[in-house]
Every structure is written in C-alpha cells, then in structure tokens.
C-alpha cells in the first residue's frame, strides 16, 4: 500500500503517497486510540461521487467526541479533504480512509498533551467479500465475543476496536469460511467483523439493535429503502437460531455493500443463493450509489 503513486491529504496538505509517513513512536500505533472511517466513491453518469459523505464525516467527529479526542478540523474541511483525495488521485471510483490519530509527542497513556493528526487516503478497491453478488457467502459464529458497551463504546469507529474483528475474521478464514459472525456478551447476534447483519422472515426485515454493533451507514440506507418500499424493519435482540431458520440473511457495509449470506455454521440459508428481498435491496443500493435513483441523489457528493 505504501509504495504507490498519488497523494494523501495529511494535516491540511496533499503529500506525495510515499512520503505520507509517521514516526514509530506515534501514540495511536502503540495504544490503538484513534478513529477512522471507510467511505466509498462510485462512478456516476456525472463523474465520481462520494456516497453519504456528510454522514461518514459526522460519524468520524462523533467517534472522536466519544473517545475524548479533539479533531482540529471541522466537517466542512474533512468533506473537502475527502473530495480532494478522490479528485487529485484522478479516481473514477474509490475507497476512502479518513483517520484521526495522536502524534508522537509523548508515550504515557495520557493523551491530552498530544497533537491530533488527520489523514485521508483514497484508492481503487473492488468488492470486499468475494464479489459474486448473487451467491451467498459462508460464515461461522466466532469464538470471540463482540465488545461490551461499557468497555469499548460501539458507537465509536475506533482503531483499537478492530483487533477483536481481526481475531474473529482470521479464525473464520483459517477454518475455510468467508467471514465471522460475532455475538455480544449475552450471546445475542451483534454483527460481522466489518458489517451489520439483517435477516428476512416472512417478508419483514430484522436486525440487531445497536448495543454491540456499529451504527452502520449502509444499515441506515437499507432501513430507509425499506421505509420507502413499505417493508417492515424491526430492531431486536437476534439469536443465532433466528438466523439459522431465516428465509434470507445478508450483511451490509460500505466495503461489503449488500452481501448475501448462504450458509451459517454449516446450515444453508434458503438455497444458499441471494433471496428475492435481498436482491431488491441490493440492486436498489447499487443503483443509488451509482446515481441512477433520483430519489436518493442527495446522498451523493459530486467530486
């Protein structure tokens, strides 16, 4: 990733990609307290556009607020940095990574005396989970538990939260699955390592509440679609066996988009392929992000 052409927005300036470096004593590298976002830009008929940029920037600022980190840039500046990162790298579509992190002024755990840096990188990144949008992926319930709300606050998209995701994902991959399903401390379904989860039962959608899951922007998008399409959505405590006997199950996420799940813990979901409700929502999602749905055009920020 480090050795490539292009530029990265770092603390207000565009820096050549290979020169966008930090010191080994960077505080966030040691203790994991930082916040980040994963954002996508899609090719539309009017050129590249970033999907739900304002919501991503708002979540980044809220993540920082939750962790008590003071990002020295406002939403307008961060939005402009994201648009510039796509534009200046001449990307037609992109994955964007804004991240705020502490500097290397000190090594103790106190962070009030440290500088907060902000970076935004953008590069081309295709499908995250396989890329066959019709076939369901295979997942397993993780032996690792998702964060407890009072030890790691789940509303924050914080760097350190992700080692739990990585443990779960690497276990799933090692066992031959595509992704992990994490349960909360009480044994209820929380989310994937980097995705929210929905299931379909008798035409209605169900999804875990946000006690131990990230407040996903794709999740919100799907819920808005359902509202507009007259599909009922319920947030509830979801159990493993709710999923085992569901008609359809799918993941949502900026990187994962809308990914059908065909098998959980060795049990087939439907016939293992994308179900009809998932197909409607997935295709509406792809039309929306590509600017083909006028109704949702306000979610796209032209580059």
Helix/strand/coil (H/E/C) assignment for every residue in 117-162? EEEEEEECCCCCCCCCCCECEEEEEEEEECCCCCCCCCCCCEHHHH
The verdict on 195 binding ligand PMP (CB under 6 A) reads yes
Count CB-CB contacts under 10 A for residue 194. 22
Using CB under 6 A, which residues numbered 164 to 183 contact ligand PMP?
165
Of 78 and 213, which CB lies nearer to ligand PMP in the complex structure?
213
Query: Of 148, 240, 234, 225, nearest to 188 (Cα)?
Result: 240
The verdict on 259 binding ligand PMP (CB under 6 A) reads no
The verdict on 214 binding ligand PMP (CB under 6 A) reads yes
Which of 38, 208, 260, 291 forms a contact with ligand PMP (CB under 6 A)? 38
User: DSSP string covering 52-110, please?
Assistant: THHHHHHHHHHHHHHHT---SS-HHHHHHHHHHHHHHTT-SSEEEEEEEEE-SS--SS-
Spatial distance between the Cα atoms of 261 and 254, rounded to a whole number of angstroms: 16
Binding mask 118-157 for ligand PMP (x = CB under 6 A): ----------------------------------------
Of 156 and 303, which CB lies nearer to ligand PMP in the complex structure?
156
Of 94 and 114, which CB lies nearer to ligand PMP in the complex structure?
94
Q: Which of 65, 87, 157, 220 is catalytic?
A: 157
| Residue 157 falls in the annotated catalytic set | yes
The verdict on 252 binding ligand PMP (CB under 6 A) reads yes
The verdict on 34 binding ligand PMP (CB under 6 A) reads no
The verdict on 196 binding ligand PMP (CB under 6 A) reads yes
Which are the catalytic amino acids?
157
């Amino acid at each position: 990733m480090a050795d490539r052409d292009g530029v990265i927005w770092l603390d207000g300036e565009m820096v050549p990609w290979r020169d966008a470096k930090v010191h080994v004593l960077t505080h966030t590298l040691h203790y994991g307290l930082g916040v980040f976002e994963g954002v996508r830009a899609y090719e539309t008929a009017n050129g590249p556009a970033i999907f739900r940029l304002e919501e991503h920037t708002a979540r980044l600022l809220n993540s920082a607020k939750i962790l008590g980190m003071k990002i020295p840039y406002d939403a307008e500046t961060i939005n402009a940095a994201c648009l510039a990162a796509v534009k200046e790298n001449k990307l037609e579509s992109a994955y964007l990574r804004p991240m705020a992190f502490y500097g290397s002024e000190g090594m103790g755990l106190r962070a009030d005396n440290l500088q907060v840096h902000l970076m935004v990188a953008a590069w081309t990144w295709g499908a995250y989970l396989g890329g066959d949008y019709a076939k369901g992926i295979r997942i397993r319930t993780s032996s690792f538990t998702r964060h407890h709300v009072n030890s790691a606050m789940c509303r924050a998209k914080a760097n350190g939260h992700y080692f739990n995701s990585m443990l779960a994902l690497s276990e799933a991959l090692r066992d031959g699955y595509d992704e992990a399903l994490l349960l909360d401390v009480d044994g209820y379904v929380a989310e994937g390592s980097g995705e929210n989860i929905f299931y379909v039962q008798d035409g209605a959608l169900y999804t875990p509440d946000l006690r131990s899951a990230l407040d996903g922007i794709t999740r919100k998008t799907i819920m808005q679609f359902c509202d507009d399409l007259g599909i009922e959505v319920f947030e509830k405590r979801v159990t493993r066996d709710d999923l085992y006997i569901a008609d359809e199950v799918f993941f949502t996420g900026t990187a994962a988009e809308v990914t059908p799940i065909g098998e959980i813990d060795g049990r087939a979901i439907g016939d293992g392929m994308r179900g009809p409700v998932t197909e409607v929502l997935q295709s509406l999602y792809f039309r929306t992000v590509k600017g083909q749905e006028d109704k949702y055009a306000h979610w796209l920020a032209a580059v």
